[in-house]
Chains A and B, each alone.
Chain A
């Protein structure tokens, strides 16, 4: 393991990897910053380029986008009061008031430093926890793996939607799509309608591009050609006094962000608002929050950045994506023939560790690129959307077509775009469907292998301790939204009765 760790470190330090990470960070900062573009879109845009790169360099590039996107989201939040990503929404509360006071440089500097620190903390958690979790995961058998995948999907279904029914519908519709193509165990063609293109199944990346890029393009078109205005700012690097002020909020944000990042589907917005709330509670001047204080920028920004490292832990060790971006990263790794999970650390140890170290380089690159190129990057906020949108569509076409040199994948992409728009209309989240597309085949395979090993006896899922543990967690995750709703109702009833008696 130690030899693999060192080799992974050297692989991540290769000049091509460092360059790729820095370019990825720049691209991520831009995509994260532009309202209407997201980190997911940034990764999708760069996806065709990864086909020509070595797996280590390709992953380094995408990790750069991941880390850069997390930081970039706050730039637009601070400068124009529009969060570049949902996770940057808490940053607007104090970031924009600072800009209004003429202290946008100070806010941006604090945001970059906090993001860097949060990312660094999550990297250390990643490097400490990942190898240990891998050792445990290597003992899993088919039934346990089924339990694990089922848990990952149940958490997303339960937390990604306002309604559990809609979250589950999204998941099961995703599973329905996964069954198209060859059966994973016996190779029977299912739901192919005699079409040769359907035999290989629906390519996950084509579906993903459609699910994420098409709704973004349509939403941008609906909103009109808004030219964003970049503001001027002075000194960017935070003063010693500011650094002393943000120490505790950054520590809170880093811990909360990493922990929430590890939980599949918990989502960035939860972590940033929880961190903001904690930072306000422990502050000596809580009344300053919301009026433009640096602690209000530092806490959510460190949480926002540390979510990335947290999300990489289940992705790398268990093959379970924590959010849409890690799901896309899994897709990228699969395209290069690397399946994330415990076996990756055994069979491709140096590569697996190089991914972890590339994340570290991505955090450093993001901070460096952000400080050095801030003035230039922010100018890009004034690029009109009318030019950006056709470029995004063209890049989506290039990326999707390059998967299998097939127009079928382009049509699949468009079909999934329409599915995503219908889901939006019905208020059904797309993330559970995305995870079902990534994990669905594994779920079926592990379930059927487990049943085959027990000669069709379903008690195997309840006698295996790990499987039982994951199934119990799934039950808790299904019950949790009902519990929360019950608690809110109870509180409301109490309030109402108190008002009546008063």
Chain B
């Protein structure tokens, strides 16, 4: 955990310095004697700077017992042989792509493709199951939310 704490602490420290820099640009004068909009961000900046320094310190103290760069890898549950980080990463990437595709093609066209891709990634290999469920379930959700619940659904910038 030592190396992770150092990496995390440094990232948070950098982020907080940037945030603190932006906070200095906020107006300081207010009409009352109360602190202005800059006050709370200042408090937060000081607190996080202190805490991230503590985290780095904890990391440095914990470096002796850590396994070097191997410490940066996500932990695996020992009992599960099926555990796969690449599969999880692929799923996350697919989800990100799906969110982006929604803004282009909308819910109706993007969701069936996403369903098929994610089902395949999570281990479903039967073509008829992939094809049928990736069409039926998104369509059901689409009509359920659009027509029955009358909720707005994401529409893409491309017509269709």
A contact residues vs B (CB 8 Å cutoff): 48-49, 51-52, 163, 165-166, 168-169, 172-173, 175-176, 179, 183, 185-186, 188, 190-191, 214, 217-226, 384-387, 389-391, 393-395, 397-398, 401-402, 405, 407, 410-411, 413-414, 417, 421-422, 425-428, 444, 447-449, 451-452, 455-456
Contacts and interface: CB of A to CB of B under 8 A. Distances in A.
Contact of B111 (A394, A410, A425): A394
Contact of A183 (B37, B103, B115, B133): B37
A168 B154 contact: no
B32 A452 contact: yes
B89 to A, nearest CB: 8
Contact of B33 (A48, A173, A387, A452): A452
Given A223-B80, A451-B34, 12 more contacts: A51-B149, A173-B48, A175-B40, A176-B41, A185-B34, A223-B83, A224-B122, A395-B141, A414-B95, A444-B40, A452-B34, A456-B33
B152 interface: yes
Nearest to B26: A190
Contacts of A165: 51, 54-55, 58
Contact residue range for chain B? 35 or more
Given A186-B30, A428-B8, A172 B41 contact: no
Contact of A387 (B8, B48, B88, B137): B137
B39 A448 contact: yes
A447 B51 CA distance: 22
Given A51-B151, A219-B88, A425-B4, A176 B80 contact: no
A222 B118 contact: no
Interface in B6-47: 8, 12, 16, 19, 22, 26-27, 30, 32-37, 39-41, 44, 47
A352 B58 CA distance: 46
A49 B103 CA distance: 22
Contacts of B111: 394
Given A398-B151, A402-B152, A414-B96, A222 B119 contact: no
Nearest to B16: A176
A425 B141 contact: no
15 contacts: A48-B149, A163-B58, A169-B12, A179-B40, A179-B41, A188-B26, A214-B92, A221-B87, A225-B82, A402-B151, A405-B152, A411-B99, A427-B1, A451-B33, A452-B34
A225 B37 CA distance: 50
Contact of B44 (A51, A172, A214, A398): A172
A426 B39 CA distance: 29
A480 to B, nearest CB: 18
Contacts of B88: 218-219, 221-222
Nearest to B146: A398
A220 B36 CA distance: 45
Nearest to A168: B51
Contact of A456 (B34, B92, B99, B149): B34
A401 B155 CA distance: 10
Nearest to B19: A176
B123 interface: yes
A380 B88 CA distance: 24
A224 B124 contact: no
Contacts of A395: 141
Contact of A222 (B55, B58, B87, B137): B87
A391 B35 contact: no
Nearest to A410: B99
B85 interface: yes
B118 A456 contact: no
A393 B19 contact: no
B80 A448 contact: no
A401 B153 contact: yes
Nearest to A399: B151
Contacts of A452: 32-34
Nearest to B75: A425
B141 A398 contact: yes
A224 B154 contact: no
B48 A169 contact: yes
Nearest to A448: B34
B63 interface: no
Contacts of A411: 99
A222 B33 contact: no
Nearest to B87: A221
A225 B122 contact: yes
Contacts of A48: 145, 149, 151
Interface string B108-152: 000100110011011110000000011001100100010001111
A402 B36 CA distance: 34
B135 to A, nearest CB: 12
Enumerate the 10 nearest inter-chain pairs by beta-carbon distance, A residue then B residue, closest first. A224-B82, A452-B34, A225-B123, A222-B88, A221-B91, A183-B37, A386-B122, A386-B124, A455-B33, A426-B8
